Chains A and B, each alone.
Chain A
Amino acid sequence: MNGEPQQTDTQGKLRHFLSIEGFRREQLVQILDAAESFAMLPGRQVKKVPLLRGKIITNLFFENSTRTRTTFELAAKLLSADVINFNVNVSATSKGETLLDTLRNIEAMHSDMFVVRHHASGAAHFIAQHVAPGVSVINAGDGRHAHPTQAMLDMFTIRRHKGDFTPLRVAIVGDIQHSRVARSQIMALNILGVSEVRVVAPRTLLPADVRTLGVHVFHDLEQGIEDVDVIIMLRLQRERMDNALLPSAHEYFQLWGLTQERLQRARPDAIVMHPGPINRGVEITSEVADGPQSVILQQVSYGIAVRMAVMSMAMGNRSGDQGT
């Protein structure tokens, strides 16, 4: 064991991106600023930049995901890297290969970066502990633990619409308990210094230690979104109903679904976000999801720019020598 992997090098430059935890405000702002430059690229004739030309990036997905994997793949290609997609569900682990064996094999293919999604919390950290010194690891979601690039693209979306973080009230609504996205969002919002983070959820979907995360807890949707600037709806996973944490999708919608009428409680210029994919008629109505306050599709576009920023910053710091 090599101990806890360091996300930054001795100069504070990004090496791995595993969790929002431990980053300072300036470091998060630097990621958002770099993403701002990448967000301009779609307006050009050539949408690519040559930053990571000659690098190999491996998407190592132990859990199904179409959107996250695709945006990481597109981000890598727009940086001119070559991409390998390694879906481990359908691959060697089902033949009894261990995580480390899988890793060593892909390393032997000279991959410079791993983008990892895994159902077990801590998987990306584990891989970061075991990769060769020059290799970076980006966490694309591990268990219930963290999904830091999703949180950063949400921060980017908020900054694009609201400018300054400090006066904002943000409500995160839904299944906080099982959401790695919510954990990462709460940390990022607090580091960036918003005025208030609220979590709004039924008791069965809140983790016991929720207050230690630095949030105000609400058990009523209309109270929870009163006067907020940003509403982040979380996806309700259908299997929660099977686990008897919730009665039914219909009843959930009655109490926790965001409707246009309920949205009136928030500030008139409030934006509505959702990490996707949305369950229409469960946590959000189509009227809201497709309405003027929804920024859900922009989140997807911004996700590409933010992932480009994180990938290029992690890969650009491969040695300490300073050239001119």
Chain B
Amino acid sequence: MNNSSNRIFMQHDAILDLIQGMARLTERHLQDREIEAPVMIGIHTGGVWVAERLHALLHIGQPLGQLDISFYRDDFTRIGMNPQVKPSSIPFAVDDRHIILVDDVIQSGRTIRAAMNEIFDFGRPASITLVTLIERSGRELPIQPDIIGLEPPLADEEHIRLQGPEPLNLAINGSRVNREKT
């Protein structure tokens, strides 16, 4: 049972390639839906790192918004205040805007639930498109990303995490023995 380890799964350049691909998919997605002049919001912390690159690749005019969902977490009374809480900043009016919401990893879907609740406290967007770098199993809410960078096969016990901001690394820790089951 000594398969538990912390290992680099993917490195900076490969991650940037993934983000390039995500940018192309997002562009096509927006065209299909005839969405013009979208705005972008990244979720702290890893989501912001991905969003900064996507934001530049998609030439979005409005500055990037950043959300810290600490005040909207559903497990707040269990785990308490995140000591690194950062102010959310959305430097544009949300009302009637098409929002591209970016996060690094989607698993349970609870972070996205919290982020959407927070966005609606800023205003009523026209639409939200969800883009995540990594999609993995373990969904607990009916929330699915529109654009995915990669869907790596991971065991339930394995955790994948984006490290950054410079260089970006995807790291996995936890046991991989049960990977076949997932």
* Contact assessment for A30 and B87 in the assembled complex, using a CB-CB cutoff below 8 Å: no
CA distance in complex: A324, B75 (Å): 8
Interchain CB contact (< 8 A) of B85 among A13, A34, A317, A324:
A34
Do the beta carbons of B70 and A37 come within 8 Å of each other? yes
A45 within 8 A of B: yes
Instruction: Give the A-B contact count at a CB cut-off of 8 A.
Output: 65
**In the assembled complex, which residues on chain B have CB atoms less than 8 Å from the CB atom of A37?**
68, 70-71, 85-88
Contact with B along A210-221 (1 / 0, CB 8 A): 000000000000
Interface string of B47-72 (1 = CB under 8 A from A): 00000000000000000000010111
B residues 79-137 in Cβ contact with A at 8 Å: 79-81, 83-89, 94, 108, 117-118, 120-123
User: B2 an interface residue at 8 Å Cβ cutoff?
Assistant: no
Please measure, in the bound complex, the distance between the C-alpha atom of A319 and the C-alpha atom of B79, giving whole angstroms: 7
What class of interface size applies to chain B in its complex with A? 20 to 34
**CB–CB B71/A50 < 8 A:** yes
Q: Is the CB of B121 within 8 A of A44?
A: yes
Given contacts A313-B81, A316-B80, A317-B80, contact A46 B71 (CB under 8 A): no
Closest partner residue, chain A, to B159 (CB atom): A324
* A40 touching B79 in the complex, CB below 8 Å, given contacts A45-B121, A46-B121: no
Smallest CB gap from B83: residue in A? A30
A40 to B117, CA, bound (A): 17
Distance from A40 Cβ to chain B, minimum over Cβ atoms (Å): 4
The one of B71, B78, B120 that contacts A323, using a Cβ cutoff of 8 Å: B78
Q: Which residues of B contact A44 (CB under 8 A)?
A: 121-122
Q: Shortest CB–CB separation between residue B112 and chain A, in angstroms?
A: 15
Contact residues, A29-61 vs B (CB, 8 A): 30, 33-34, 36-37, 39-40, 44-46, 48-51
- A108 CA to B101 CA, complexed, in Å: 44
Chain B residue at smallest Cβ distance from A37: B87
Judged by a CB distance under 8 angstroms, whether A2 is at the interface is: no
Asked if B9 is at the interface (CB within 8 A of a chain A CB), the reply is no
CB-CB under 8 A from B72, the residues of chain A are 49-51
- Beyond A37-B86, A44-B122, whether A49 also contacts B77 by CB under 8 A is no
In the complex with contacts A37-B88, A49-B71, A322-B121 CB distance below 8 A: no
Q: Is A228 an interface residue (CB 8 A)?
A: no
| Contact for B89 among A13, A40, A318, A323, CB less than 8 A | A40
CA distance A324 to B83 in the complex (A): 15
Contact A13 B122 (CB under 8 A): no
A315 at the interface (CB under 8 A from B): yes
Q: Judging by beta carbons under 8 Å apart, are A45 and B87 in contact?
A: no
Residue picked from B72, B80, B85, B121, most chain A C-beta under 10 Å: B80
- Known contacts A34-B81, A315-B77; decide if A51 and B88 are in contact (CB<8 Å): no
Chain B contacts for A321, CB-based, 8 A? 78-79
Task: Give the residue name and chain of the B residue nearest to A321 (CB).
Answer: B78
How far is B80's CA from A317's CA once the two chains are assembled, in angstroms?
5
A316-B77, A323-B75 known, 4 other contacts, Cβ within 8 Å? A45-B94, A51-B76, A321-B78, A323-B79
4 smallest beta-carbon distances between A and B, as pairs? A316-B80, A46-B121, A49-B71, A317-B80
By a beta-carbon cutoff of 8 Å, the part of chain B in contact with chain A is 68, 70-72, 75-81, 83-89, 94, 108, 117-118, 120-123
A residues at B contact (CB < 8 Å): 13, 30, 33-34, 36-37, 39-40, 44-46, 48-51, 312-313, 315-319, 321-324
